[in-house]
Amino acid sequence: MDFLAKIYITLKESVLDPQGTAVTHALHTLHYRTVSDVRVGKYMEVTLSAASTEEASTLIRGMCDDLLTNPVIEKYTYELVEA
Amino acid sequence: MKCAVIQFPGSNCDVDALKAIEETTSQPVDLVWHTARDLSSYDLIVVPGGFSYGDYLRAGAIAKFAPAMKEVEKAAADGRFVLGICNGFQVLTESGLLEGALRRNDSLQFRCEMTELVVANHHTAFTRHYAVGERIVIPIAHGEGNYYADEQTLKKLKKHGQIVFRYAKEHNPNGSVDDIAGIVNERGNVLGMMPHPERAIHSRLGSADGRRLFTSILEVWGETHAAIQS
């Protein structure tokens, strides 16, 4: 089966996000005054083949831990859909 | 002392490192490609600055899978010397040889300037020719040098004297926690630092303060080597 994994990577809460801070300031300058915080992350789409949803899930977690994220500063969530 | 400087696609401080080692220690240095599968004969391996693999994904994230990095891990495990400068430091943290991570500078700017460092530990193989608390001038050139470690890791680094260089208090250029500019592993044979000592080996370059880092390594290597022979 073919799967599409939608992976969302963000900095851990404990890690300051200077990009997010800069974007927050820019939004305030544009008068979006109700914005209290912005966190900038990454979004990836990985297409893969696997025998089952469980196997695809295991593979995606492996990829995230090995390469796609740095667990020292980042965390991730993902959605898996049959492609 | 046999030295190697690894070249990744995108390295750009490799030749500077080679020339600096030759100039300061008169020891033989080879440039080795990232595909090298045997670096067992080298006493010092330098992971140089630059933008390995275009810094794609994260700085250093893809370089850690290069065959030569397996050899760097072996060197570290053997107690041989490993020096990661700038992108090399990022590669060493990504590969887990050093703790923590390097984030985007808090200013979001690429900073290229001379910086004042304070030597925090002079009892390492890389810093014995400096005095503790000594202020030295070494240039930086990076956009992602903002060192991060969680509280627990930071405590451990302090406890084991692993923080080797700090930016002078009022001159932290990137937002690094505890003003950290360079750290060693617990064993003390792997150093990662954002500033470029290889660019500070002659007063004509603006500073000669980087020379003693290389002469320190040579002296320590010489002592170990002599001890083995006797």
Range A1-15 average pLDDT: 96
In the residue annotation, B198 being an active-site residue is answered as yes
Per-residue pLDDT for B32 more than 70? yes
| Mean pLDDT, residues B158-166 taken together | 98
The partner residue sitting opposite A18, judged by closest CB among B101, B108, B150, is B108
Tell me which of B90, B93, B103, B151 to substitute to probe the interface with A (most A C-beta atoms closer than 10 Å).
B103
Distance between start and end Cα atoms, chain A: 8
* CB burial string B79-112: b at 16+ within 10 A, e below: ebbbbbbbbbbbbbbbbebbbbbbbbbbeeeebe
- pLDDT score for B229: 59
Of all residues in chain A, the percent with pLDDT exceeding 70 is 100
Mean pLDDT in residue range B84-96: 98
The proportion of chain B whose per-residue pLDDT surpasses 90, expressed as a percent, equals 96
Q: Is the dihedral of CA B137, B150, A79, A59 positive or negative?
A: positive
Asked if A16 lies within 8 A of B104 by C-beta distance, the reply is no
Name the pLDDT band for B208 (thresholds 50, 70, 90).
Answer: very high
Instruction: Report the C-alpha gap between B63 and B94 in whole angstroms.
Output: 9
pLDDT tens track for A34-69: 999 999 999 999 999 999 999 999 999 999 999 999
pLDDT band at B170 (very low <50, low <70, confident <90, very high): confident
Q: What is the mean pLDDT of residues B37-63?
A: 96
Tokens of B28: 């033989």
Tokens 């984030």 — which residue?
B103
Domains in chain A, start-ordered, CATH in brackets? 2-82 (3.30.1280.10)
Question: Which whole number is the average pLDDT over A17-21?
Answer: 92
Whether the CB of A83 is below 8 Å from some CB of chain B: the reply is: no
Q: How confident is the model at residue B230 (pLDDT cuts 50, 70, 90)?
A: low
What pLDDT score does B75 carry? 98
Q: Write out residues 74-113 of B within 8 Å (CB-CB) of A.
A: 93-94, 100-101, 103-108
Chain B residues touching residue A16 (CB < 8 angstroms): 103, 106, 175
pLDDT of B227 strictly over 80: no
B177-204 tens-digit pLDDT = 999 999 999 999 999 999 999 999 999 9
Q: What is the pLDDT of residues B94-133, one digit of tens each?
A: 999 999 999 999 999 999 999 999 999 999 999 999 999 9
- Write down the ipTM of this complex: 0.85
* Chain B CB contacts of A73 below 8 Å: 101, 103, 148
What domains can be seen in chain B, in order of their start residue? 3-229 (3.40.50.880)
Q: Quick check: B228 pLDDT over 70?
A: no
CA dihedral A22, A24, A26, A29 (to 10 degrees): -140
The answer to whether B134 is a known catalytic residue is: no
